[in-house]
Amino acid sequence: MKIHLKVWRQKNRHTKGKMHDYTLTEVDEEMSFLEMLDMLNLQLAKKGERPVEFDHDCREGICGQCGVMINGIAHGPLKNTTTCQLHMRSFKDGDTIYVEPFQAKAFPVIRDLKVNRTSLDEIIAAGGYVSVNTGQAPEANTILVSHEEAENAFDAAACIGCGACVATCKNASAALFTGAKIAQLARLPQGKKESNKRTINMVNRMEDLDFGHCTNTEACQVECPQDISVLTIAEMNYEYNKAKLKD
């Protein structure tokens, strides 16, 4: 199939970027979106041009490295899917596809489609440590965790930190990401000791960074590859208010 691409090209964060037009003629519908970009890069390399830079790692939808705006939607037209799990069968022969980097002040463009998402790591780092017993392997039932608790915690822990929530939010808020990280530990008995400090530090760090405020439009969950619930944001607010009252 023939695909027309409009790709954002930007040399570095200090230069202005703009859309460039490319056409690929032999795109296979079984290709993943990233394989299609590989194909474009191969053509560019053969012509001696600089390839389009984009983030990727596992290409299995679990690492959270890939992530671009495809036709104005984070990770493209399919809901709850990473860019690498989007395949060209989702497009038609002759389609024009816009490919842009995630946009947010907290995600400065490094080059082309590659953005710096260190700010998300900074939020996690602000959470600090979780106290655990060390030494010999503990007896399995020392800390009781019900199946429901474990599943609920894992629902939040499934966040892969791709940043689609920030990119899709009209306020560029990182509330879903931070909410997921806080809820993941808040739903388990481990780490309770640091719970209040962790929540306050993570939320304050999020506020200090260049993210906007959550206004509960719920767009983040729709585009989140892991379908992280917006209720984790409410849970973060609950944990934060609770921690502030005890602070």
Say whether residue 100 binds other proteins (CB under 8 A): yes
Say whether residue 182 binds other proteins (CB under 8 A): no
In sequence order, the 6+-apart residues with CB closer than 8 A to the CB of 162 are 64, 65, 66, 67, 75, 82, 225
Say whether residue 215 binds other proteins (CB under 8 A): yes
The residue from 3, 66, 113, 172 that contacts other proteins (CB under 8 A) is: 172
> Least CB distance from residue 77 to other proteins, whole Å?
9
Say whether residue 73 binds other proteins (CB under 8 A): yes
Q: CA nearest 159: which of 87, 73, 220? A: 220
Only one residue has tokens 């017993």, namely 133
Q: Which stretch binds other proteins (CB under 8 A): 83-91, 132-140, 194-202, 211-219?
A: 211-219
3-state class (DSSP) for residue 5: strand
Cβ distance 99 to 33 under 8 Å? no
Say whether residue 52 binds other proteins (CB under 8 A): no
Q: Which stretch binds other proteins (CB under 8 A): 41-49, 81-89, 132-140, 226-234?
A: 226-234
C-beta closer to other proteins: residue 108 or 191:
108
C-beta closer to other proteins: residue 59 or 158:
158
How many residues touch other proteins under the rule CB under 8 A: the total is 46
Tell me which residues in 53-72 interact with other proteins (CB under 8 A).
69, 71-72
Say whether residue 185 binds other proteins (CB under 8 A): no
DSSP assignments along 8-57, one per residue: EE-SSTTSPPEEEEEEES---TTSBHHHHHHHHHHHHHHTTPPPPP---S
> Least CB distance from residue 144 to other proteins, whole Å?
22
Say whether residue 105 binds other proteins (CB under 8 A): yes
Distance separating alpha carbons of residues 17 and 238, to the nearest angstrom: 41
Task: Please name every residue paired with 212 in a beta bridge, in sequence order, or none if there are none.
Answer: 173
Q: Which stretch binds other proteins (CB under 8 A): 31-39, 87-95, 134-142, 229-237?
A: 229-237
Task: Please name every residue paired with 69 in a beta bridge, in sequence order, or none if there are none.
Answer: 74, 100
C-beta closer to other proteins: residue 20 or 59:
20
Compute CA distances 224 → 13, 96, 235, 237, whole Å: 26, 24, 18, 20
